[in-house]
Amino acid sequence: GESVGLHLPTLSVQEGDNSIINCAYSNSASDYFIWYKQESGKGPQFIIDIRSNMDKRQGQRVTVLLNKTVKHLSLQIAATQPGDSAVYFCAENQEGNYGNNRLAFGKGNQVVVIP
Amino acid sequence: SQTIHQWPATLVQPVGSPLSLECTVEGTSNPNLYWYRQAAGRGLQLLFYSVGIGQISSEVPQNLSASRPQDRQFILSSKKLLLSDSGFYLCAWTGQANTEAFFGQGTRLTVV
């Protein structure tokens, strides 16, 4: 679900290290998940997605892991770079009021890369 | 290719004044449309979403309203702004199937 009342948790990472960002989702019926990256003053940008029939999906320097048993999603960033500094959001596709799917975002995680 | 336009980019409005933010999508038909608000250093709060013309779902009670007069147009409005309406407003669209959301560049609203 959505949680917007708290300051974002911050992950500080040394440049070159791997980053792991975690997300717990709320709806066991959700079947599609997305990770977004938001840089300051901009709209979120798509990073990678995964459907519920998969446990793992890899992109360029990023890997998403899905554990449906505990409703947990993670994003791994390999060899973190200064340009990776941003807020990262997970999103799940939930059923909305009209029976259609709507996208619900997690609270977000601030990643700060230390040169 | 599909594009999403949101304007204005920044807006400063006095308390009690009306608001109209517009979002349009090009290159697709029958999109799901969304309005989100983001306070500084916070997450994304879903305000409204629409699955078709005239079909608006409100997620939280508030001082704002949304309308969808055309298939690819989504408008966020207020009759009288409050200080607490300040924030970063984002419009987004998705396809009807399970797809990613595409976001506009956002509107920074400051109510003074």
**Residue range B22-36: mean pLDDT, rounded:** 93
Q: pLDDT above 90 covers what percent of chain B? A: 67
What integer pLDDT is reported at residue B37 of this predicted model? 93
What integer pLDDT is reported at residue A95 of this predicted model? 64
Domain housing B23: 3-111
Residue B50 has pLDDT above 70, yes or no: yes
Residue B46 has pLDDT above 90, yes or no: no
Per residue in B93-107, pLDDT (tens digit) is 988 766 788 999 999
CATH number at residue B76: 2.60.40.10
CB B12 within 8 A of CB B110: yes
What integer pLDDT is reported at residue A96 of this predicted model? 60
Q: Which residues of B fall within a CB distance of 8 Å from A5?
A: 42
Higher pLDDT, A100 or B3: B3
Q: Which residues of A fall within a CB distance of 8 Å from B43?
A: 2-4, 8, 89, 105-108
Residue B9 has pLDDT above 60, yes or no: yes
Chain B residues in contact with chain A using a Cβ-Cβ cutoff of 8 Å: 32, 34, 36, 38-39, 41-46, 49, 51, 55, 57, 59, 88, 90, 92, 94, 96, 98, 100-106, 108
What integer pLDDT is reported at residue B75 of this predicted model? 97
What integer pLDDT is reported at residue A1 of this predicted model? 40
Tell me which residue in B98, B100, B104 faces A46 most closely, judged by beta carbons.
B100
Distance, in Å, from the CA atom of A102 to the CA atom of A105, rounded to the nearest integer, reads: 10
**Residue range B31-46: mean pLDDT, rounded:** 86
Number of domains in chain B: 1
Full set of structural domains in chain A with CATH:
10-96 (2.60.40.10)
* DSSP string for residues in chain B: --EEEEE-SEEEE-TT--EEEEEEEES-SS-EEEEEEE-TT---EEEEEEEETTEEEE-S--S-EEEEEETTEEEEEESS--GGG-EEEEEEEE-SSS---EE---EEEEE-
**Residue range B62-89: mean pLDDT, rounded:** 94
Average confidence (pLDDT) per 10 residues, chain A, 115 residues: 57 95 88 91 91 94 95 95 95 68 82 94
DSSP H helical ranges for A1-115: none
